[in-house]
Amino acid sequence: MTTTRSTFEDFLAWLEASRAQGQVHFDDKQQCWHVLGHPEASTVLNDPAAFSSDLSALQPVEDDLALFQRGNFVTMDPPQHAKLRTLVSQAFTPRVVADLEPRIAELTTQLLDEAGERFDLIDALAYPLPVIVIAELLGIPASDRGLFRTWADVLLGQETDPEQDLREASEQALTAVAPTMREMNAYFLEHIRSRRASPGDDLTSRLVQAEVDGERLAEEEIIGFVGLLLIAGHITTTATLGNSVLSFQEHQDVVAEVRADPTLLPAGIEEVLRVRTPFPRLGRVARADAEVGGVRIPAGQFVMPWLAAANRDERVFTEPHRFDIHRRPNPHLTFGHGIHFCLGAPLARLEARVALRLMLERYRDVEVVDDEVRHRSPWTMVAVTSLPLQVRVA
């Protein structure tokens, strides 16, 4: 069953119908420019001088949202973006991420030990694993993960109507999430103040003591940092684990290949990321008149690069709708492109690789209970919220 009015197949059909109007075209109903092609989307994402990540004109930042946005470097442009991203990048260096592998393996084993032979993948593993990892990095009690999941469900659970004006849809979504934002801000502010009073060996403590241009970050700025890392730091892994199991269920030949040659697993994960892009789109605003794919976009217009469509561009990917773990190269845009390339991508890839490897080693068979699967709205996020499994131990 699905909890939304639209299936993933409906969503893909809409993208291709939209592409038929041009790789770059204006949508009169949503009042925005859709960018569907891979090179065109890459151009937009790689040019912050022409296309701003600050969407405050579309999403007026005030009150609770404004507090969260102060440290949210995803919506910042240079030079502020570079200064703040540099601060947090220390937590995701290749060495730091690689050193997390034993802990990820330990947690995966522990969670699967507790799961039994009939369990919901999201509840038992795909959600708690990345949340515990990121919470430990931030020094936040992992025992509060039920609360974090509630927040994520609210923030990512807003329906999107492709027929609705984008500004109107954004205002409605912001109204719906405002109480949750208020609760998050209060929680993170209390955590930050506790770390200021008693620093520990965690990222929040380092942010409290960090300086940018000789000045300490305000507590309100750190709220955006911590909130973004907690939510974004787990949701992509949660989605990728669920999407991987679904994709493997649909392609049993791939499972057999990966079991025979585990070195193929990373390529399998990359193909899952391509065909089931967790966050299907991003948003930008044209700073000045710009040309993309031979189409002129006027200044001040909203631009929507569709990652899910770019990842299925036949000009870049041969047979783009075919699941192929031998695809070389596989330059998908799932983690973005340019200065806003996802900081947590290496960690998400590592978590997915370790968890799936251990599942394949532990279980000789993994069967999805199809009639009990629940999906998010693909317009907002391509992911499942419930994925019951029947497994057989090897």
Dihedral angle sign, alpha carbons of residues 64, 70, 72, 78: positive
Measured CA to CA, the distance from residue 264 to residue 242 in angstroms comes to 18
pLDDT of res. 389 = 97
Against a cut of 0.85, is the pTM above it?
yes
Tell me the three-class secondary structure of 216-248, residue by residue.
ECCHHHHHHHHHHHHHHHHHHHHHHHHHHHHHH
Kindly give the parts of the chain with pLDDT less than 50: 1-4
- Percentage helix, strand, coil for the chain under 3-state DSSP, each rounded to 5: 55, 10, 30
30: left (phi over 0), alpha (psi -120 to 50) or beta: alpha
Domain ranges for the chain: 8-393
* Structure confidence by residue, pLDDT tens digits, 234-286: 999 999 999 999 999 999 999 999 999 999 999 999 999 999 999 999 999 99
Are 104 and 350 a contacting pair, CB within 8 Å? yes
* Closest C-alpha to 304, from 72, 37, 60: 37
pLDDT of res. 73 = 73
* Phi, psi of 220, deg, nearest 5: -65, -35
What DSSP character marks residue 312?
T
pLDDT of res. 114 = 97
Query: For tokens 């900081």, what's the residue?
Result: 343
- What is the CATH number assigned to the segment(s) 8-393? 1.10.630.10
pLDDT of res. 4 = 41
* Structure confidence by residue, pLDDT tens digits, 317-326: 999 999 999 9
